[in-house]
Amino acid sequence: QKEVEQDPGPLSVPEGAIVSLNCTYSNSAFQYFMWYRQYSRKGPELLMYTYSSGNKEDGRFTAQVDKSSKYISLFIRDSQPSDSATYLCAMTSHAGKSTFGDGTTLTVKP
Amino acid sequence: EAGVAQSPRYKIIEKRQSVAFWCNPISGHATLYWYQQILGQGPKLLIQFQNNGVVDDSQLPKDRFSAERLKGVDSTLKIQPAKLEDSAVYLCASSASGEGRHEQFFGPGTRLTVL
């Protein structure tokens, strides 16, 4: 069993929809939780970063962490075609080692 | 602020040949990472440097892969000899110390095809 499991997708939604992306993890040592966005043939770029349970909002993006359930989510409101990309969740231990999910590919159709 | 630079961007080699990738991290970033990303998968950590010392190389196939970070700045990753299953994108990332240490900045990657 992988330490980080991510909903595989792919996901296709109409412009303006609310998107929910999800990951579960099994390692209690993970303390930091990140969401990266990766466009085709580019490196991942950090979208959201949090270390506590609860919600963190940044514009149209909300990251949610539930440590008791070992579950994290990323919500995208009012999705745009420019949001079309692969979204990667990542978990980091206190020692600084990151483990990534396999990504969910999102397509937002105009 | 300049980002993480990697070269080459693409490389095609035959199995059993050698190949080397170069990475220049963001200026002042103490930590440097090399990841392997196979198509359809997330990045897998190969090696992590803190300045010029190795922090974690537990997933580096040491019989064929080697990496160095001389003077705590640039880094090279080498594969010798390459196998078909090494076809992947090799990503370099860097992060600062202290508060920003968990935010990794990625380069564009080197896409390796082994024939």
Residue B86 pLDDT > 90, yes or no?
A: yes
Distances (CA, A) of B84 to A67, B12, B13, B109: 39, 11, 10, 18
Q: Which residues of A touch B102 (CB under 8 A)?
A: 32, 34, 49, 51, 92, 96
Please tell me chain A's helix, strand, coil percentages from 3-state DSSP, rounded to the nearest 5: 5, 60, 40
Give the model's pLDDT for residue A61. 97
Q: What is the mean pLDDT of residues B42-55?
A: 92
The model's confidence at residue A96, banded by pLDDT at 50, 70 and 90, is: confident
pLDDT, tens only, A62-95? 999 999 999 999 999 999 999 999 999 999 887 7
**Backbone conformation region of residue B108, classed left if phi is above 0, alpha if psi is from -120 to 50, else beta:** alpha
CA distance A39 to chain B (A): 10
- Report yes or no: A94 at the B interface, CB cutoff 8 Å: no
Average pLDDT of chain A to the nearest whole number: 93
Helix (H, G, I), strand (E, B) or coil at B77: strand
Integer Cα distance of B109 and B102 in angstroms: 20
Contact between chains at B42 and A101 (C-beta distance less than 8 A):
yes
What share of chain B has pLDDT > 90, as a percent? Answer: 83
Q: Tell me which of A7, A56, A65, A98 to substitute to probe the interface with B (most B C-beta atoms closer than 10 Å).
A: A98
Give the model's pLDDT for residue B100. 61
Q: Which residues of A touch B111 (CB under 8 A)?
A: 41
Q: Which residues of B touch A23 (CB under 8 A)?
A: none
Integer Cα distance of A24 and A5 in angstroms: 5
pLDDT, tens only, A31-62? 899 999 999 999 999 999 888 888 999 999 99
Give the model's pLDDT for residue A95. 75
Q: What is the mean pLDDT of residues A1-8?
A: 89
Average pLDDT of chain B to the nearest whole number: 93
Residue B8 pLDDT > 90, yes or no?
A: yes
B97 or A38, greater pLDDT:
A38
